[in-house]
Amino acid sequence: MSAGPKDVYEYEDALNLTGHGRYNVGLLFACFMVIVAMGIDIFGLGIIVTAATCDLGMSLKDIGVLSSMPFAGIILMSYPWGYLSDTRGRKLVLMWAMSGSFISAALSSLAPNWKVLAALRFVSSALSSAAESATYALLGECCNYKSRAKFMLLMTSALMLTPTLYYIWGYLITKLDFSISIIGISYRPWRLLTLVMSLPLGIGALMLWYFSESPKFLANVGRQDEAVEVLKRMYVLNGGDPEKFPVKKLQLEEGSKDGTEKFSLSSLWSQIAPLFKKPLLTRTLLLYYLTFVVYIANNSFAIILPTIFNVFFTSYASSKDSQGFCDLFLATSNTTEVQAEESAVCKDAIEDNTIWAGCAHGLSFFILNALISQCAGKRKILTVVILIVAAGAAILVNNTGEPLSGLIFFYIFLTTAMVFGVISSYFVTLYPTSYRGMVACLGMMVARLSAFAGTNVVSAMLSHSCGTALYGAAGLVLSGAVAALLLPSDCDNLE
């Protein structure tokens, strides 16, 4: 018997019928874990590098190259992950990617030198980068409109939480003192830390097993029956009676298409071309510029933040009152190499203050972002205000005449990270289902390409042109605030 008119629902109407409960919160938690795992995999490398600097005999320049490897991996795979997410499924991509990333990250704990470590972290981040877009698309398409923007911003809180985790792990593990010979490699505390930090990747993949593919994706690629079954499962897990679920068929949005065609260059082009044509062109360029600004300004410093903290607190005790923030980084480029050559016993030395500063940074940013998520309906004004405040802080960092206050302003500058979730939410709400994974992944490619270049530039400039780097970042962030004024009203979205 064919379905009657009352059995056919628009997707958003059908999604609203499933309610908002255990399934949505559980999926948020699973995606949260995946984002945490990805954040630890990418940004946690900073503390691994700091702990391994002496053992691997790295200079500040080597640290910059190694620390930029995760960004290089993301640049390579952002386009393929976007294509696969939009044509093969969000959950499928996430499970395979996170599993592979876990294996590569775990193996990196046995790297004999920093170049092998860089190669394995390149592979690991290339795989874990699938989480950048697929998690937001999966979660966003399983939450009703009322909770969607809030959940998108809560997801970003996961990234804010990651520093607290890996700094605490770093503190506990690097305090250990052991050296075990394994296949000719001296297995020291930083290697154990590397292994422990790979575990969330595997845990995230296992957690996703419980949840279903995005019903929006399934319907969009012609798998209507499966989509209805997933919606029904959500309805039941949220407390509904399976006999009373009314949806039998979904009415697809205009422009939906079967995304299961065979891989080809033409299919790749058909996936990306609409993003750079009217009516999507303007919003695509605007969001990508904001992505470029926020990520080059924030990630270029954030990825080497443990090293920045370590150098700061090592030098602060002997600093003069008249010195500024950047003065502490003069003549530090080869310090670690000299220490490694002069010391008979290499220590995985991380200042205690570095750990506490990192934990405070991560935990406070997590709380701040969670609070900001409660104002999800004011995304545009939040973006403008955050970027203006951050730009002002960057200008003041090296102009206080005293390093500790400079560190406080540097912390405020890093609040540009609060804009990450806002941009991700726009990728979900301003684009059709068929292109959400692609536009987000390409956005992340723009983000990490910016961060890759920025990290190498910042690490090279930190010792002699720190002030110039900060002023340049301030100018970029201010231009981002101007661009954010062109964002659509928060009342405008595709749905």
| Inter-CA distances, 77 with 97, 200, 244, 269, 321, Å | 11, 21, 43, 16, 47
Percentage helix, strand, coil, to 5, in the chain?
A: 75, 0, 25
pLDDT, tens digit, 9 for 90 and up, residues 186-214: 899 999 999 999 999 999 999 999 999 98
Q: Rounded to an integer, what distance in angstroms lies between the CA atom of residue 347 and that of residue 203?
A: 31
Q: Which class is domain 8-250+274-484?
A: mainly alpha
Q: Which of 26, 78, 64 is nearest to 456 (CA)?
A: 64
Q: Rounded to an integer, what distance in angstroms lies between the CA atom of residue 484 and that of residue 416?
A: 13
DSSP letters for 86-144: HHT-HHHHHHHHHHHHHHHHHHGGG-SSHHHHHHHHHHHHHHHTTHHHHHHHHHHTTS-
Return the minimum-mean-pLDDT range out of 64-68, 251-255, 303-307, 487-491: 251-255
Strands of 134-274, DSSP E:
180-182, 185-187, 249-251
User: What is residue 27's predicted lDDT score, i.e. its pLDDT?
Assistant: 92
pLDDT, tens digit, 9 for 90 and up, residues 4-26: 456 788 888 888 888 888 998 99
Residue 461 tokens read as 């400039």
User: What is residue 388's predicted lDDT score, i.e. its pLDDT?
Assistant: 96
Q: Does 451 or 396 have the greater pLDDT score?
A: 396
Q: Is the pLDDT of residue 49 over 50?
A: yes
Q: Is the pLDDT of residue 307 over 70?
A: yes
| Contact indicator for 40, 194 with CB cutoff of 8 Å | no
What is the four-CA torsion angle of 199, 200, 203, 208, rounded to 10 degrees?
-150
Residue 177 tokens read as 């003192």
Return the minimum-mean-pLDDT range out of 124-138, 307-321, 324-338: 324-338
DSSP state of 214: P
Q: Is the pLDDT of residue 395 over 80?
A: yes
Q: Does 117 or 301 have the greater pLDDT score?
A: 117
| Mean pLDDT score across all residues of the chain | 81
φ, ψ at 465 (rounded to 5°): -135, 40
Q: Is the pLDDT of residue 262 over 70?
A: no
Compute how many other C-beta atoms are within 10 angstroms of the C-beta atom of residue 492. Answer: 10
What one-letter code names the amino acid at 239?
Answer: G
Compute how many other C-beta atoms are within 10 angstroms of the C-beta atom of residue 249. Answer: 17
Q: Rounded to an integer, what distance in angstroms lies between the CA atom of residue 274 and that of residue 425?
A: 19
Compute how many other C-beta atoms are within 10 angstroms of the C-beta atom of residue 415. Answer: 19
Q: Is the pLDDT of residue 342 over 90?
A: no
pLDDT, tens digit, 9 for 90 and up, residues 145-157: 777 777 877 777 7
Q: Does 258 or 349 have the greater pLDDT score?
A: 349
Please tell me the pTM assigned to this model: 0.71
User: What is residue 23's predicted lDDT score, i.e. its pLDDT?
Assistant: 92
Q: Is the pLDDT of residue 346 over 50?
A: yes
Q: Is the pLDDT of residue 256 over 60?
A: no
Q: Is the pLDDT of residue 182 over 90?
A: no
